[in-house]
Amino acid sequence: MILRQILRFSSLLRSAVSVHVRRNIGLSAIVFNKTKELDPVQKLFLDKIREYNTKSKQAGGPVDAGPEFQKDLNESLARLQRAYGEGDLTKFPEFKFEEPKFEETAK
């Protein structure tokens, strides 16, 4: 009887310790991945993205876009302007929602 209780308790203890160890290993793997150096391909990719970001901020738009790109952009904007009316099509529209007016009625 006592042996059975000891075995049952040890199996419960073993499963609890197992879950705890697995969680700690999982968390330490995440921390380790964040602290270790990036893969060379990932590092090159991120460097190129950052380089493009700085170039686009300096250029004020797309990088290395020639005059044909600007011509196509202007034609597309003119076509959309004709189709959808006036307004600046390069900015997100502003929406104004008014509160509905409710009237109280006597019951």
pLDDT of residue 54: 93
d(CA 102, CA 40): 63
0.75 exceeded by pTM: no
In a domain, residue 76? The reply is no
In a domain, residue 92? The reply is no
In a domain, residue 86? The reply is no
How many domains is the chain partitioned into structurally?
Answer: 1
pLDDT of residue 20: 64
Q: What average pLDDT does the structure give for the chain?
A: 79
Cα-based distances in Å from 87 to 92, 93, 95, 98: 10, 9, 13, 21
In a domain, residue 13? The reply is yes
In a domain, residue 73? The reply is no
Mean pLDDT score, 71-75: 90
In a domain, residue 77? The reply is no
Residue 52 is part of which domain span?
A: 7-61
Residue 49: name the closest of 59, 31, 63 by CA: 63
In a domain, residue 1? The reply is no
In a domain, residue 54? The reply is yes
User: How many degrees, rounded to 5, is the angle at CA 65 between CA 60 and CA 70?
Assistant: 85
pLDDT in tens, 18-55: 766 666 666 666 666 665 677 888 889 999 999 999 99
